Chain A
Amino acid sequence: MTRVLINFTIQFILLVLAQVLILNHINFGGYVNPYLYVIFVLSLPFDTPKWALLTLAFLLGLSVDIFSGVMGLHTAATVFMAFCRPGVLRFVSTKDLTIKGGSPSIQQLGFNWFFSYSFILVLIHHLLYFYLEVFHFSGFFYTLFRVILSLIFTLIFIFIFQYIFHPSKRKA
């Protein structure tokens, strides 16, 4: 239990630092910015209590916000995403996963499962983030274009992260 706690604390700090110092400066074509830090909420264990889920998402969003200049933006998007997580988990999986233990990953549940799971949640996060940033619906399709581009890059980064930090030997 304590190992898991320490593990996730380190992951939290590293993800915030990576987001703020490196990823916020990656601008593919001047349009998109990958938001890798959301993987923290994605990969929390199945049996995480719901209050902890929301609190962690809130703290995570706030930490990224402090360094991104626009207070509350990441927080709002991340908290909403965490709120949707239990529902999405139920939606994408047939079995009850909370009994099984462990946490969502490609190695445990396969590529297809993890893709649809992360796709839905990251889409929710990005939609809220980008529309809150613009704050009105003029230029609706332009913002949608940015959402989709960023979504693609965030997902690519999430999958790279998964393959690097969870080597697939556990499957055997």
Chain B
Amino acid sequence: MRNLFLFLSRQYFFFMFIAFEAIALIILVNNNVYQRSVFVSSANNMAGNLYTFSSDLTDYFNLKTINKQLADENAILYSLSKSSFIKTIQQNFIYEDTMYRLQYRYIDAKVINNTVTKRNNYIMLNKGYKQGVAKDMAVVSPEGIVGTVKEVSENFATVLSVLHSESKVSAKIKRLGYIGTLSWAGSDYRTGLLKDIPFHIQVKPGDTIITSGYSYTFPEGVMIGRVKSVNSNPGENFFTINISFSADYNKLGYVFIINNLMQKEQMNLEKLTQKNDKGTN
């Protein structure tokens, strides 16, 4: 026994190293990325407040471009407002009909931390459950798709960016209407991958890619990007299409969180359908 202690004390550097390294790896495996993809640790308020402070400072440098974006968006919204339309048919109808119900509600938020160089990138926003943000809501910027909400704390939310190995978004080629899956290869933050588009479809560089609406998070028609190059691998039946993203993820300033008010209903219906399916088999 004494020899054992002697041995331990002589080699304490090595054993201490093993202990520390084990702690680090346990933390890594338990908290992170592929394994559980939890990001709460950084969504805690201490980190959040520090990032708010730093982004308050750096915001000033982007004011010009953000103003431009807002002005552009205002212009679009004005052109959609009731006063910009002229009534050409002289018939009466009720505008606010019960036929229409709000499906998507928008919450504006500011990006307070963002990375693009990692294999798995996250974005932190300054709105949390106090402001009505919940898990699995869609996040878009004025220029295009950004990601989905991963974790929410009181005043902050973390977003699983499109630039993440687990990010999968149902996308559509606008001109042709075919559906594929958008992911990210991990190399360049400006380029995404569109898969599952079969060979017989005539995709051309420059084609617009938008969200398909075949998910419970993203509304249909959110801009994703444009086709950059179309590649075909021998032995596969599908194209691998490179896309240049329309949003510049390195310069995100303000984004919108989209709350799909009918998400619950849609998901329940799907669950019910699947359950009945199993019953008949």
Contacts and interface: CB of A to CB of B under 8 A. Distances in A.
A10 interface: no
Nearest to B187: A142
A18 to B, nearest CB: 12
Interface string A106-150: 000000000000000000000000001111000100100000000
A76 B29 CA distance: 11
Interface string B11-42: 01100110011011111110111100001011
A19 B19 CA distance: 26
Interface in B94-134: 113, 115-120, 122
B65 interface: no
Contact of A134 (B12, B117, B119, B158): B119
B21 A71 contact: no
Interface in A40-94: 50-51, 54-55, 57-58, 61, 65-73, 75-76, 79-80, 82-83, 86
B12 A139 contact: no
B24 A68 contact: no
B250 interface: yes
A31 interface: yes
Contacts of A82: 17
B16 A54 contact: yes
A30 B115 contact: no
A21 B31 contact: no
B116 A71 contact: no
A24 B27 contact: no
Interface residues of B toward A: which range? 35 or more
Nearest to A67: B47
Interface residues of A, number: 37
A105 interface: no
A68 B122 CA distance: 10
B237 interface: no
Given A54-B13, A69-B122, A30 B32 contact: no
A30 B116 contact: yes
A73 B16 CA distance: 18
Nearest to A17: B50
30 contacts: A20-B50, A21-B54, A27-B117, A27-B250, A30-B117, A30-B188, A32-B117, A50-B12, A50-B13, A51-B16, A55-B20, A65-B27, A69-B39, A69-B42, A69-B115, A70-B31, A70-B120, A71-B27, A72-B29, A72-B31, A75-B27, A76-B25, A79-B17, A79-B20, A79-B24, A133-B33, A134-B119, A135-B33, A142-B186, A142-B187
Which 5 residue pairs are nearest across A and B when measured between Cβ atoms?
A: A72-B28, A72-B27, A76-B24, A75-B24, A83-B17
Given A72-B25, A79-B20, 11 more contacts: A30-B188, A30-B250, A54-B13, A70-B33, A70-B118, A73-B32, A79-B17, A79-B24, A133-B33, A133-B120, A135-B33
